[in-house]
Structure 1
Amino acid sequence: MAPTVPSAAKSASPSQPSGKSEVADLKQQLRQLAGSRAPDADDQRRDVFKRVISCMTAGIDVSAAFGEMVLCSATSDVVTKKMCYLYVGAHARAHPDLALLTINFLQRDCRDQDPTIRGLALRSLCSLRVPNFVEYLVTPLTTGLKDPSAYVRMIAAVGAAKLYHISATACIDADLPASLKALMLSDPDAQVVANCLHSLQEIWTLEAANSEAAAREIETLYSKPVVFYLLNKIKEFSEWAQCLVLELASKFLPSDNNEIFDIMNLLEDRLQHANGAVVLSTIKVFLHLTMSMTDVHQQVYERIKAPLLTLVGAGSPEQSYAVLCHLHLLVMRAPMLFSSDYKSFYCQFSDPSYVKKLKLEMLTAIANESNTYEIVTELCEYAGNVDVPIARESIRAVGKIALQQYDVNAIVDRLLQFLEMDKDYVTAETLVLVKDLLRKYPQWSHDCIAVVGNISSKNIQEPKGKAALIWMLGEYSQDMHDALYVLESLVENWDEEHSPEVRLHLLTAVMKCFFKRPPETQKALGATLAAGLSDTHQAFAI
């Protein structure tokens, strides 16, 4: 009988050496435990195996203990087996010669009475990924697909795809795809069916690039018998498997409208599923199937609206963003459908910036005569947001709504109030929008000029804001008594202005002012032209 391992070896202590000395110590303990029949041998093996896995996790090379690990693999303890399989899978590809030692005990475990050990052994055997071992995989996989345990069949279904990646020829020659298809359409276990479907899609998709037969086979997955068989079992599948089946259904081409309605009836309750991925996959199927049916397609929009809005308010910000992206597309297609649900797109304090930005775009898109006042009121609250990019976006959103001719009177008043906030970025964005509004609605010039005339150009740092102010000074110089004097002061500081955009607007504004107030502007025009001629920027070289 082999001597037992000292009790001190059962658990690693902080004082134990690391690196080569620790690996040597582990090898010695494994040799002592190999073949041991002591009552506590299994517990000791488990503790030593834990130390080996701990070293692997810490990045220590423990491949030197490969032989000893294999010798200690002869145990009925499932936990120890799992650790041994984990170790073998991690080192087999880098050490194929040593991995050959594991083939016998893995094949033996594939015939074990315990289905858990059979499944674990088959999974580890398929995970070796050593091309020279292909001949040892085919028989266990073929047997595993017929195993009485659903767990083993589930492992074997995935293992077939692993074998294809190692050797496509071996997989096809063994006729594993045909076995997978037969198992998919007959197995009572839903997870086995899902794994078969996934492996078949993976194998035939890759094989279709080189084989017309494989291309025809993958088309059979989209046939009515297969699709309806899977859809009728969809409630039995896991959430991942449901998404897999729904993706398959989205590629199905129904022969008539009755098939479309049958599928939609089967999937109706999936729209109330708690998992967002299942809901979105179901919506995708509905939209794809009804693409050619205009009236039904519009009804689908109305049907999917509530589930999508529910998902927006539930779950993580990342999920909300994904759902909002889908909603954004629908809003762009049918804005009137969501016009009454505008409050669902109000920004929450806890929303990240990327979610807020998307919500602002959607609020702008669904604005109409009935909800403009409420939406603009909400957007105005965001203008003072500590998040500067969101504050800018909210001001731009107000301007876009105004340009759509919705409640312009109230919106202009709100925009002019922004100019009193004494924030540079708010003033700059507002001036740009006021300029755009005056171009479209010149009748509002009187109200706007009264407020804009009180703004000092020295308080505006952003080029686009300063350019907008200069445009208004030139466009309405006949109504703004101080416009010329403001322009003259800007011309005097021409060299200090680094933005070509501002300089060009200044040149244009002085020209406009000259045509409206020639005597007063003549001197300023001469100075502006002289400054422009001496400017080295290419915009003035024209």
Structure 2
Amino acid sequence: MGTIEELGMNLLRACRQNDSTELKILLHQLVETVNTPGDITYLIGPVVKLLPCHNISVKKTAYSVLPRICSLHPDASFLAANTILQDCRDPNPAVKCLAVSTLCSLPPLLQEHAGHALNAALKDGNPRVRQTAVMGCSKVFKHVQHLMFEQGFVDRLYESIRDSDPVVVTSSLLVLDTVLASEGGVVVSRNMAAYLLQRLEDFPDPQLATVLEVLSKYKPQEEEELFKELSMLDPFLVHSSSAAVVVNCVKLFLKLTEEKHPHLKTEIIQRVVTVLKQFLSSGSSRESANHVLDFVLLLTEDIDWLVQFYDSPHLFYPQKYNTDLELALKKLRVLPYICTESNFKEILHTLEEKYCRIPKTCTDSIACVCLISTRMPHFAGSECLNVLIALLDSGDHIACDGVLNRLQDFNLVGFKDDEIRTLIRKVLMKIDLSIKDVPYILPILLGEFGELVDEQSPYVLESLARNFELYDDGMQSLTFTAALKMFLKMPAKCQHIFGEIMEKCLHDMMRNDSEKMLALQQRALKYYQLLKVDVHLVRKMLIAQ
């Protein structure tokens, strides 16, 4: 007798004997077995027989594995149908929820039985059952979309928005938004908006945040209606216990006032900025900080909002990068946008001394330095460049590799020749030209500024030409561009090297028929033909790129 057969028989025996210790072990084995690849045919009968069991742990486990079994053996759903439908009428809400939820997960039964069972559950006196039915509609939509419309579930969900239970209300709104996504989501009428506004105080924070988001779909048509809505929303604008509520309320306020009352924006900002900062403080929850960071990242071009954080860069220094890297990186993404002449040195010092030297935050911190340089005046850009050079000099391999990998995001246009020359020499000292994984920044620097180190750059380019076939498509393309630009700037020193690379692109690589290689060959051929006709035109084309 096989192991799976033994498991089925042992489960039925332990259930009859009500051996709770053995049952716990066997139920765990059942879940593992069903979710492990292999033939589970022998478990169909035992699982179906376990469904009517009055032991709630057994019933929960049997219902939890039934969808998986039925996905592999669809006919098994018909064996379980009578028990499921009977449990949909069970007086115990927990049993009823299990049955309704499972029914909505079994496509073979949906067509025939979903309508009656769901309609009954949506009218049930227990809010947990009604909530399960609403979420069941989402499963029905996933498996058999047309049933949602043919059997009137969309209308029933709209009716459920007036449910006495706030969780049922918000779930109905969210499911409708999914079901009607192709039509723009849930439609919020004037009456629905008025009803939801009147019930705002009934909703716990998570549900309230959802309702505020849904209300943004409605636009009041009259001034009186608009100010009435703003008045009802006002108490939640500084709802200090929930960042999600505050953020969604602020978004709604801004949307309602942006067209005819933009002057209110300043007042809104002044009222909420202190609360937003509190949610970013070290004592606040991860969820709260995450909501505020997502909001601030939407405002990176809105100076009215950003100026409020100029005095608080410490709120965006990652404190929990070891346990919450995602949140830490979001904070780093904000920092460049709140840099000013008065705080950028503090920010750069903090990045250089700490976050640029930590493996988890190194790359993003260096990207942050590069973006600060782009957004700040030139004097700050020089400070940023000094930070990158210091990291290259530090002997910290993690920081050094981070600089080489992100330096292509640093805009060197407008910097003094001496500054750029120093950078290039530092880069050349850190790169091993004998390996195939040469950083992309090297050919970029050679092409743009190779003439500043003309005593070294031709030899470096010669090394790149020698190892050309080792590089990936991107590096080959950049090397070709660098060789072309250096040839135009220093023809006497670079002509033979450029010719060697051109030869490899046009002839030696013709055997490689990959799409990217063909594109490089065609590009090389285009410039070869143009160079024969008009060198000045080629120079203008490269400058325009």
TM-score category of the 2 structures, normalised to the smaller one = 0.5 to 0.7
Q: Shift of the alpha carbon at 1:169?
A: 5.0
Contact 1:127 1:162 survives alignment (8 Å): yes
Distance 1:419 1:138, change over 3 A: closer
State the TM-score, normalizing by the size of structure 1.
0.68
Distance 1:87 1:303, change over 3 A: same
* 1:134-173 equivalent positions in 2, closer than 5 A: 134-173=111-150
Distance 1:164 1:529, change over 3 A: closer
Q: Shift of the alpha carbon at 1:382?
A: 3.4
In structure 1, the residue matched to 2:437 is none
Separation in 1, partners of 2:34, 2:302: 54
Supply the AA of the counterpart residue of 1:359: V
Contact 1:491 1:506 survives alignment (8 Å): no
Question: Of 292, 295, 301, which residue of structure 1 is paired with 2:263?
Answer: 295
Question: Of 321, 336, 340, which residue of structure 2 is paired with 1:361?
Answer: 336
Separation in 2, partners of 1:30, 1:413: 71
Q: Shift of the alpha carbon at 1:81?
A: 1.6
Contact 2:216 2:252 survives alignment (8 Å): yes
Q: CA RMSD in A?
A: 4.4
Distance 1:419 1:468, change over 3 A: farther
Contact 2:332 2:368 survives alignment (8 Å): yes
Distance 1:166 1:398, change over 3 A: closer
Separation in 2, partners of 1:162, 1:414: 53
Supply the AA of the counterpart residue of 2:54: S
Supply the AA of the counterpart residue of 1:148: G
Distance 1:27 1:460, change over 3 A: closer
State the TM-score, normalizing by the size of structure 2.
0.67
Distance 1:106 1:299, change over 3 A: same
In structure 1, the residue matched to 2:92 is 114
Gaps in structure 1 of 5+ consecutive residues: 1-19, 209-214, 439-447, 474-485, 509-527
Distance 1:505 1:46, change over 3 A: closer
Separation in 1, partners of 2:195, 2:189: 10
Distance 1:388 1:166, change over 3 A: closer
Is it true that 1:286 corresponds to 2:262 in the alignment?
Answer: no
In structure 2, the residue matched to 1:62 is 40
Gaps in structure 2 of 5+ consecutive residues: 395-399, 429-441, 466-478, 503-523, 536-545
In structure 2, the residue matched to 1:525 is none
Distance 1:296 1:530, change over 3 A: same
Of residues 140-149 and 352-361 in structure 1, the stretch that sits farther from structure 2 once superposed is 352-361
In structure 2, the residue matched to 1:251 is 217
Of residues 421-430 and 378-387 in structure 1, the stretch that sits farther from structure 2 once superposed is 421-430
Contact 1:134 1:166 survives alignment (8 Å): no
* 1:191-340 equivalent positions in 2, closer than 5 A: 191-205=167-181, 208=183, 221-268=187-234, 269=236, 271-292=238-259, 293-313=261-281, 323-334=292-303, 337-338=307-308, 340=310
Q: Shift of the alpha carbon at 1:182?
A: 2.7
Of residues 325-334 and 134-143 in structure 1, the stretch that sits farther from structure 2 once superposed is 325-334
SS in 2 for 1:294: coil
In structure 2, the residue matched to 1:401 is 376
Q: Shift of the alpha carbon at 1:350?
A: 5.1
User: Cα deviations across residues 406-425 of structure 1 (Å, max 9, x unaligned)?
Assistant: xx5x9868967987887297
In structure 2, the residue matched to 1:3 is none
In structure 1, the residue matched to 2:508 is none
Contact 2:213 2:248 survives alignment (8 Å): yes
SS in 2 for 1:198: helix
Contact 1:380 1:394 survives alignment (8 Å): no
> Matched residue pairs, number?
453
Question: Of 528, 531, 538, which residue of structure 1 is paired with 2:493?
Answer: 531
Q: Shift of the alpha carbon at 1:345?
A: 5.8
SS in 2 for 1:299: helix
Separation in 1, partners of 2:68, 2:376: 60
Distance 1:241 1:490, change over 3 A: closer
Of residues 82-91 and 304-313 in structure 1, the stretch that sits farther from structure 2 once superposed is 304-313
In structure 2, the residue matched to 1:520 is none
Contact 1:115 1:152 survives alignment (8 Å): yes
Q: Shift of the alpha carbon at 1:249?
A: 0.7
Supply the AA of the counterpart residue of 1:200: L
In structure 2, the residue matched to 1:4 is none
User: Cα deviations across residues 152-186 of structure 1 (Å, max 9, x unaligned)?
Assistant: 2222222234334444554444433333333331x
Contact 2:160 2:169 survives alignment (8 Å): yes
In structure 2, the residue matched to 1:100 is 78
Separation in 1, partners of 2:110, 2:460: 80
Distance 1:533 1:89, change over 3 A: closer
Separation in 1, partners of 2:21, 2:456: 89
Contact 1:33 1:72 survives alignment (8 Å): no
Separation in 2, partners of 1:422, 1:46: 59
Contact 1:242 1:278 survives alignment (8 Å): yes
In structure 1, the residue matched to 2:4 is 23
Supply the AA of the counterpart residue of 1:390: S
Separation in 2, partners of 1:490, 1:177: 69
Separation in 2, partners of 1:394, 1:503: 30
Separation in 2, partners of 1:59, 1:495: 56
Q: Shift of the alpha carbon at 1:254?
A: 1.0
